Chain A
Amino acid sequence: EADIYQTPRYLVIGTGKKITLECSQTMGHDKMYWYQQDPGMELHLIHYSYGVNSTEKGDLSSESTVSRIRTEHFPLTLESARPSHTSQYLCASGGSGNTIYFGEGSWLTVV
């Protein structure tokens, strides 16, 4: 099982603010993912990375950006938050097996 950490767990922020959601994993996994999930709704892939300096957009269009400078970190940034960005953001990582492990999630509310 992977140890994967997300901060902050809960964030309330004003419209127009820049935010970064942090994600780190201690297992040395190459693959990392960001999913967006509204309450009671499906998971949607918004970004993924297969290694350092590799990032791709997922199936769901998102105004967020990501970076992968180090294997263990995969932060997600919103340059200008809007109420439509209110959601749960889930970070995940995968290693040599064909499974992925999720963090606890970051709940973002933009007011």
Chain B
Amino acid sequence: QKEVEQDPGPLSVPEGAIVSLNCTYSNSAFQYFMWYRQYSRKGPELLMYTYSSGNKEDGRFTAQVDKSSKYISLFIRDSQPSDSATYLCAMSSSYGQNFVFGPGTRLSVLP
């Protein structure tokens, strides 16, 4: 079993839809959780960062962490064609230690 699993996708939604992207993990020591967006042939771009359990909102994006279930989610409201990209979850157990990335979910938002 991989340390971090992510919905494989690809996922296609119409413009304006609410998108839910999810990751599960096995290591209960993970405390720091991130979501990255990666456009084709580009480097990953940090979208959201959360520490421990709870929700964090930034514009159309909401990150949720449920440590008891070892489950994290990224919600995108009012999705736009410009949101079409691969979304990677990432996590780490200790401050400044190495990160574990999910394999990514490719999202297409259709106009």
A-B pair number, CB within 8 angstroms: 48
For the complex, count residues of A whose C-beta is within 8 A of B: 26
- Report whether A100 and B41 are in contact in the complex, using a CB–CB cutoff of 8 Å: no
Residues in chain B near residue A42, CB distance under 8 A: 101-104
A97-B49 contact given A104-B42, A105-B41, CB 8 Å threshold: yes
Q: How far is the CB of A4 from chain B (nearest CB, A)?
A: 8
Q: In the complex, what distance in Å separates the CA atom of A87 from the CA atom of B56?
A: 34
Q: In the complex, what distance in Å separates the CA atom of A99 from the CA atom of B34?
A: 8
For the complex, count residues of B whose C-beta is within 8 A of A: 22
- Does A48 touch B at the CB level, under 8 Å? yes
Residues in chain A near residue B44, CB distance under 8 A: 43, 90, 102
Spell out B's residues near A (CB within 8 Å): 32, 34, 36, 41-46, 49, 51, 88, 92, 95-96, 98-99, 101-104, 106
Spell out A's residues near B (CB within 8 Å): 1, 6, 31, 33, 40-43, 45, 48, 50, 58, 88, 90, 92, 94, 97-105, 107
